[in-house]
Amino acid sequence: MDQSTAPIVPYVYIKHTGIVRDANPVRVVSSCYLEIYTFPFDVQNCTFTFRSYIHHVSDIRIILGKTVEDILKRSISVLSTEGEWELMDIKSSKIKLSTFNQGESNPYDELCFYIVLRRRATLYVVNLLIPSCFLITVDLFSFLLPPQNVDRSSFKMTLILGYSVFLLIVNDLLPVTGSTIPLINVFFAICLALMVASLLETILITNLLVAPCNFCPVPGWVRVLVLRFMGTLVWLPQKSREDKIILNPVARGEVQTGEPGKMWAEAGDPALAELRNLGNELQSIRLHVAQHVDGNQISQDWMQVGYIIDRLLFGVYCIFITFSFIVILSIWSNSYNQ
């Protein structure tokens, strides 16, 4: 508590009724412990204790000049122009405090005011919570981006970068004092953790989808566990790959019969030799083209595994977000309607 800096009034009113009125204004800057656990929706309870520092109860008695309700009403009318804090209630209590030296029988007279303040949360909701939810929503939707064609991991990295910049703004607005960590900090940390987790997941999926050549074929238990079990879990059934196989049965059948066609080569006809030459050239081209497609066909299984895991983790992500948001929101609403 600092010294009063209000101008000093050197007058005391003495009424004919014997009432002495000392209207000395006192401007007090006091510190109040802030319970910032439920930060933007917090209700603070400040205690102001007025007592004589040296005079005992036998010398000075402190009583309320008005009822607490009057003080509350007048304070609200004066404070209605104030900014961040909304005065909700004023309570007072009177305690006769025994002095520190317990031997003395003469306690001090003491008057306590309990001032209940509620923070106006609109500014923080608009500036902190809504942008954060926006970014989490974008992160959620970014699962819709195809991980191969569009660079989803790079998109998510930019998103995390944007979240970092946003945390810079947050840092200016958040209170830093307090022993307990505010719930909103936990909220932001969870958001960041979710983004990072989904980014890591995207990198894994990208690795599975883009560079599957380094893997051996999908082992049996993966095929059973992921493709069949999880696949049905995420409504992505195992593709029937018959359409592609049906596509070129004739050509495939002919490749094998192309070999026995060589036994006719003895019938020495230059045109026939030339035709066979042509056939070999064409076969070589076809193999090059087919290799381009078949190389992808072989890794099709791994890609399917990637897609299924992607969708599964998307579901887990959604469930976790929903759960943690519900918990945080319920804590906040409890605190605010306290």
Q: Looking at residues 269 to 328 of the shown chain, list those that interact with a copy of itself (rule: CB under 8 A).
A: 269-291, 293
Per DSSP, helices labelled H in the chain are 68-79, 122-124, 130-141, 152-173, 183-210, 220-222, 231-233, 242-247, 249-258, 270-298, 300-336
Choice between 200 and 329, CB closer to a copy of itself: 200
Task: Identify the CA nearest to 155 among candidates 195, 209, 207, 208.
Answer: 195
Choice between 81 and 105, CB closer to a copy of itself: 81
Q: What is the spatial distance between Cα 223 and Cα 144, in angstroms, rounded to a whole number?
A: 24
Task: Report in angstroms how near the CB of residue 207 gets to a copy of itself at its nearest.
Answer: 4
Q: Which of 90, 159, 183, 305 touches a copy of itself by CB under 8 A?
A: 159
Q: What is the spatial distance between Cα 186 and Cα 15, in angstroms, rounded to a whole number?
A: 59
Choice between 285 and 316, CB closer to a copy of itself: 285
- Contact assessment for residue 142 and residue 159, using Cβ atoms and an 8 Å cutoff: yes
The contact mask relative to a copy of itself for 11-50 (x = CB under 8 A, - = no) is x-x---------x-x-------x-----------------
Tally of helices (H runs) and strands (E runs) in the chain:
11, 5
Task: Report in angstroms how near the CB of residue 97 gets to a copy of itself at its nearest.
Answer: 14
Alpha carbon 72 to its chain centroid, in Å, reads 39
- Contact assessment for residue 52 and residue 110, using Cβ atoms and an 8 Å cutoff: no
Give me the phi and psi of 72, to 5 degrees please: -60, -45
Piece of the chain touching a copy of itself by CB under 8 A; list 89-97, 111-119, 216-224, 260-268: 260-268
| # of chain residues touching a copy of itself (CB under 8 A) | 110
Q: Which of 30, 58, 75, 171 touches a copy of itself by CB under 8 A?
A: 171
Task: Report in angstroms how near the CB of residue 224 gets to a copy of itself at its nearest.
Answer: 22
Choice between 196 and 327, CB closer to a copy of itself: 196
Alpha carbon of 142 to those of 30, 33, 135, 152, 153: distances in Å? 49, 42, 10, 7, 9
Give me the phi and psi of 27, to 5 degrees please: -105, 115
By CB under 8 A, is residue 97 in contact with a copy of itself? no
Piece of the chain touching a copy of itself by CB under 8 A; list 193-201, 217-225, 320-328, 330-338: 193-201
Q: What is the spatial distance between Cα 57 and Cα 51, in angstroms, rounded to a whole number?
A: 10
Task: Report in angstroms how near the CB of residue 89 gets to a copy of itself at its nearest.
Answer: 18
Q: Which of 40, 109, 117, 153 touches a copy of itself by CB under 8 A?
A: 153
By CB under 8 A, is residue 145 in contact with a copy of itself? yes
Give me the phi and psi of 90, to 5 degrees please: -125, 125
Piece of the chain touching a copy of itself by CB under 8 A; list 89-97, 150-158, 215-223, 298-306: 150-158
By CB under 8 A, is residue 78 in contact with a copy of itself? no
By CB under 8 A, is residue 87 in contact with a copy of itself? no
Task: Report in angstroms how near the CB of residue 266 gets to a copy of itself at its nearest.
Answer: 10
Task: Identify the CA nearest to 74 among candidates 82, 63, 66.
Answer: 66
Choice between 142 and 335, CB closer to a copy of itself: 142
By CB under 8 A, is residue 221 in contact with a copy of itself? no
Alpha carbon 53 to its chain centroid, in Å, reads 49
Task: Report in angstroms how near the CB of residue 165 gets to a copy of itself at its nearest.
Answer: 4
